[in-house]
Amino acid sequence: MNSNRLVNRISRRDFLKLAGAGAASVALANFLASCAPKSDGGTLNVLVPAAPDPAPPGVGQFSLDAFEQWKKNNGFEVTYEAPPWPQLHDKMAANFASGQYVHDIIYMSGWVPEFADYLIDFADELPADIIADLPPSSFSTLTWGGKRLGVIFTLSLLTMFYNKEMLDGIGVKEAPKTWDELKGVAKELTGGGKYGWVLNYGAPEGIGGVASYWMCFLQQAGGKLYDDKGQPSFNNAAGVDSLQCMVDLMEFTDPGSLSYVGINDATNVFAAGQAAMMMNWPFMWKPANDPATSKVVGKVNAAVLPAGPAGTASIDGTDAYTITSLSPNPEGARKLIEFYLDAEVQKRQVLDTGWLPIRLSVLNDPEVQAAAPNAAVVLEQAKNPYDSYVTPDYNAVTTAIGVEIQKALAGTQSAADSIKNASDQVIEIVKKRG
């Protein structure tokens, strides 16, 4: 009865208005659907950082002829999107959150677990000769939920850079072998506006943030970030000792280190001859030996990081290529990644840009070792632990730890308190991980 009354109250004009609104909604929906981006299957969209950060042929200036030939042979156009580095993560997060196809291949730096749901496992489909030529451990930071969700394209572990001339000046002929030795050398070299050690402790989070550096110290002290059940396990003697080692070094560290945000800031101090030692990424070998940016050309040497109670340890930069699950052409994307991993392309990568290859055969190439003398050191470093402990909440974890470490380094909190506070926060973060 009520419904009849309602129907009777709708005039013909109201009915026409409703019908018009309905038709307009349907038309709009169809319009939106028809406007959705489609891949023609002939274009591969790739999201990478801009050079001189780790970039593929076509963004980095190497193997350009081979790249053109590959596109011709395989019938693909490749479109690169290279946003500023600080916005790279946010951009891919926005793209993934939209659920829209935007890219086929995406560069990742420690973010694989965070975006694991949007990536595909393709490592098993790579040719056997490539797989056999990669360090097996290179997949560890890319494996999540039992799936290998990417492939590393550059061996990027932290090693030690030191100024030979400055060490020679105090009669030290080789790099310190232990952190205690390093502190002694740093003490002697500090003075007159120069420092024994420099690093960027200004940013707490991410790979290259202070928390990630502490992970090197943690592993050399025999500690681990997580136990076998995935629970935080660093609130112990190894955790406190590792941070105390960093704190003790602060006396001989460039005080600017507390505010330097990027590795380039710390490298500038080292390259200006104002600091004798630092831990650094392999890529920095080239700028440190470039007269345009460095005053220590020919004086730089590399060595494995000093050892602690458990030996030497490092972390992995985890520069990798991944394929998105929304890619309409994952096979084409995989072929392009295979091209990036081609031995000749990998060789040009290191010779022309300074980014080390990941393929062992190329790393051991005499021409490569001559052009990048630090390659052998990085290979040696790779024989020791270099876990970066990446997780989906890596940013939150490293922020929590990094902020506490910064307090200890600034002298406002003891190492023990910092480790306890950091552990408490990470326990809460892990609980939310589920």
Partner 1 sequence: MPIIQRFLTRFFIRFGLITFTLLALGPVIWAVVTSLLPLSSLTSHPIDLNPANVTVENYFLVFASSRGLVSGLINSLIIATFTSAVGLVIGSMAAYALARLNMPNSSRILMMILATQMFPGIVIVIPLFLVMSRTGLVDTHFGLIIVYLSFILPIVIWILKGFFESVPMELERAAAVDGASPFQTFRYIVLPISLPPLFATGVFAFIEAWNEFFFAIILTRIHVKTASIAIAEFSGQYQTLYGQMLASAVLASIPVVALAIIFRRFILEGFVEGAIKA
Q: Given the rule CB under 8 A, which residues bind partner 1?
A: 31-33, 35-37, 49-50, 52-53, 79-87, 90-91, 94-95, 97-100, 102, 109, 208, 262-264, 268-269, 271-272, 274, 281, 283-284, 287, 292-293, 295
Q: Shortest distance, CB of residue 268 to partner 1, whole angstroms?
A: 4
Output the CA–CA distances (angstroms, integers) from residue 58 to 44, 64, 81, in the order listed: 13, 6, 11
Of 290, 310, 316, 156, nearest in space to 245 by CA: 310
Q: Which is nearer to partner 1, 99 or 136 (CB)?
A: 99
Q: Which is nearer to partner 1, 37 or 145 (CB)?
A: 37
Q: Shortest distance, CB of residue 356 to partner 1, whole angstroms?
A: 13
CA distance 334 to 126: 8
Contacts of range 374-379, beta carbons closer than 8 Å, 24 or more positions apart: 374/159, 374/282, 374/285, 374/302, 375/155, 375/282, 375/350, 377/159, 377/302, 377/303, 377/304, 378/155, 378/156, 378/157, 378/159, 378/282, 378/302, 379/155
Pairing of the two strands 159-163 and 275-280: antiparallel
Q: Shortest distance, CB of residue 262 to partner 1, whole angstroms?
A: 7
Q: Shortest distance, CB of residue 109 to partner 1, whole angstroms?
A: 8
Q: Which is nearer to partner 1, 81 or 188 (CB)?
A: 81
Structural contact between residues 163 and 273, judged by C-beta atoms closer than 8 angstroms: yes
Q: Where are the beta strands (DSSP E) in 82-146?
A: 105-109, 143-144
Q: Shortest distance, CB of residue 112 to partner 1, whole angstroms?
A: 17
Q: Shortest distance, CB of residue 182 to partner 1, whole angstroms?
A: 21
Q: Which is nearer to partner 1, 61 or 231 (CB)?
A: 61
Residue whose token pair is 């290859």: 357
**Which phi and psi (to 5°) does residue 65 adopt?**
-65, -45
Residue 97 neighbours by CB distance under 10 Å:
9
Q: Which is nearer to partner 1, 186 or 326 (CB)?
A: 326
Q: Which is nearer to partner 1, 95 or 301 (CB)?
A: 95
Q: Shortest distance, CB of residue 253 to partner 1, whole angstroms?
A: 14
Structural contact between residues 142 and 153, judged by C-beta atoms closer than 8 angstroms: no
Q: Which is nearer to partner 1, 94 or 427 (CB)?
A: 94
User: Running DSSP on this structure, what letter comes out for residue 79?
Assistant: E
